[in-house]
Chain A
Amino acid sequence: DQQVKQNSPSLSVQEGRISILNCDYTNSMFDYFLWYKKYPAEGPTFLISISSIKDKNEDGRFTVFLNKSAKHLSLHIVPSQPGDSAVYFCAAPGGGSNYKLTFGKGTLLTVNP
């Protein structure tokens, strides 16, 4: 039962354009969502989070949008840079004192110069 899904295994964009990474979830109990970025041979790095009481959170070039009715969130990167090339994971914690993170399978973003 995959509760967090990233249906696009890969995405390729041109430098300077917008990158949009999508994530769907099935568990209505999730009340926080996090995005992580991962380079090969390194651990994931936290990027940005959003609470279910919000529909948007912005941090510099990164914006996450949440559509609760559709159980869908997206990460926008504007403008995209070659250094953004990495695997991006969407994750949700279990809630309350349950700190288990359920991850999507990730999307490989390639930003071409």
Chain B
Amino acid sequence: KAGVTQTPRYLIKTRGQQVTLSCSPISGHRSVSWYQQTPGQGLQFLFEYFSETQRNKGNFPGRFSGRQFSNSRSEMNVSTLELGDSALYLCASTMTGTVFSYGYTFGSGTRLTVV
């Protein structure tokens, strides 16, 4: 069965620009979460969506936003990019009710570099 697909894999943007990242979860998974991984901070939770609604949100500024579509696909957007936004952005999906037994399934991530 297909895994979690994130596009694009790599992205280079300039400070001040905005970027949209895409995530297609595993078929049947309705919960989609986004994480940012940086060398200094590790893996940090951005937000989680379930049935097109943001259910949980991490401690990131309002420049970070997301949405989920009716087919469970999700996008995240970062506006007014800063150098510190350079990171690996990971999407994860799960079937609710099984996350604690089987965990999230993560995609391979999008490597964003802001120059």
Contacts and interface: CB of A to CB of B under 8 A. Distances in A.
Interface of A: 32, 34, 36, 41-46, 49, 51, 89, 91, 93-94, 97-106
Interface of B: 4, 31, 33, 35, 42-45, 48, 55-56, 58, 90, 92, 94, 96, 99-109, 111
24 contacts: A32-B100, A41-B108, A41-B109, A43-B106, A44-B43, A44-B90, A45-B106, A46-B102, A46-B104, A46-B105, A89-B43, A94-B56, A97-B55, A99-B31, A99-B33, A99-B48, A99-B56, A99-B96, A100-B48, A101-B33, A101-B45, A101-B104, A103-B44, A104-B42
A44 B46 CA distance: 16
A59 to B, nearest CB: 11
A51 B105 contact: no
B103 A36 contact: yes
Nearest to A2: B42
B99 A43 contact: no
A10 to B, nearest CB: 14
- Of the listed residues A36, A99, A105, the one surrounded by the most CB atoms of chain B closer than 10 A to its CB is A99
Contacts of B106: 36, 43-45
Contacts of B102: 46, 49
